Amino acid sequence: MTKKFGLVSLAVFAALLANTAAAEEKLRIATEGAYPPFNQVDPDGSLSGFDVDIAKAICEDMNARCDFVKQDFDGLIPGLLAKKFDLVAASMTITDDRKKKVDFSKKYYQTPSRFSARKGSGLQITSEGLKGKVIGVQRGTIQACYIEKTFTGSEIKVYPSQIEVFNDLAAGRLDVGFAEAMATDEQLLKGNNGDLFEMVGAPPVDPQCLGEGIGIALRKGNDRLRERIDGAIMHIRENGTYAKINAKYFPFDIYGN
C-alpha cells in the first residue's frame, strides 16, 4: 500500500511539475507604443491598446507569461530576428515581402487603408492627380510600400510614427496623408481641428503591399508556437473574449470578413 501510494504521489508530483513548467513559459512581445488606439504608452509608462489587450488574451489562453517592450515600428522585424523579443503585436500587416523574413499567425484584425486631406481640397487620388503633391506616410509600413510604388511623380515624406504624419498634414506641410483607416479616424478626424479634414478616395486594393490582414509576427522555425497562437486567436473569438476587447475600442467587429 505504501509503495502504491508512493507511485501515485510521484505521478501527481510529476504532473504538478509539468503544469508549473507550462505556466512559467515566458514570452517577450514587442509593440510600437505610438499607434493609438492599437498601441500606446500610458502616463505610467505601461503599454496598452487593442494590440496589447489581444496579445494578453492570447498569452492567457496559451498559459504563458508575457512581458511587453516598446520598439519603433521600423525596428520590429530586425529586433525580432536579433532575438531581442519573441513576438511582435503591433498592427503589422501580413505581406509576402515580410513573410520572406518572418512567420505570421492568422490575422487578428483587418481594416482598409485610406487617404486623408483637408476638406474641399478637390484632390484626385490617382498617380496623375497627386503628381507634384506632397504625400506623408509612416516609414516601414505597408502604406509606405504602396505609396512609394504607386506615386512616383509625387514628393513622398516618411515619418517615424503615424501621429507625425497627421501633425504635418494639420500644419499644412503635406497635401495628403495615407494610413490605416482606424488610425486616421482616431488620430486625425477625432483630434483637434479634425473637422477640417476628411478621408478621400476609395480604399486601394493591393495584396502585394497592403497585405492580408494583421497578424502576430514570430521568427521562422517556431511552427508549434505559431500553431498555438492560431489556436488561441480562434479560441478567444469563440469564447467571447475577443468581442469584449473589441467593444472596448470599436463599435463594430474589427476582425473583418
Domains of the chain: 2-110+212-249 (3.40.190.10), 113-210 (3.40.190.10)
Number of CB atoms found within 10 A of residue 247's CB = 11
Q: Each residue of 171-221: pLDDT tens digit? A: 999 999 999 998 999 899 999 999 999 999 999 989 899 998 999 999 999
What confidence tens digit (pLDDT) does each residue in 78-122 have? 999 999 999 999 999 999 999 999 999 999 999 899 999 999 999
The percentage of the chain sitting over the pLDDT mark of 70, rounded to a whole number, equals 91
SS3 content of the chain, % helix, strand, coil (to 5): 40, 25, 35
Buried b (16+ CB within 10 A) or exposed e, 29-49: bbbbbbbbbbbbbeeeeebbb
Contacts of 74 (CB under 8 A, 6+ apart): 139, 140, 160
> What does pLDDT average to over the chain?
92
CA-based nearest residue to 233, from 30, 85, 56, 23: 56
Q: For residue 179, what are the CA distances in angstroms to 11, 59, 143, 199, 246? A: 56, 29, 6, 10, 20
- The 8-class DSSP code of residue 184 comes to I
| Sign of the torsion formed by the C-alpha atoms of 105, 106, 109 and 112 | positive
Q: How confident is the model at residue 12 (pLDDT cuts 50, 70, 90)?
A: low
Measured CA angle at 254 (ends 204, 89), to 5 deg: 90
Report pTM: 0.74
* Res. 20 pLDDT band, cuts 50 70 90: very low
pLDDT band at 22 (very low <50, low <70, confident <90, very high): very low
Distance, CA of 186 to CA of 194 (rounded, Å)? 9
Mean pLDDT within 158-175: 97
Question: Residue written as cell 502576430?
Answer: 216
DSSP-derived secondary structure letter, 153: T
Residue with cell 504635418: 168
Contact (CB, 8 A) for 188 and 116: yes
Residue matched to cell numbers 486623408: 116
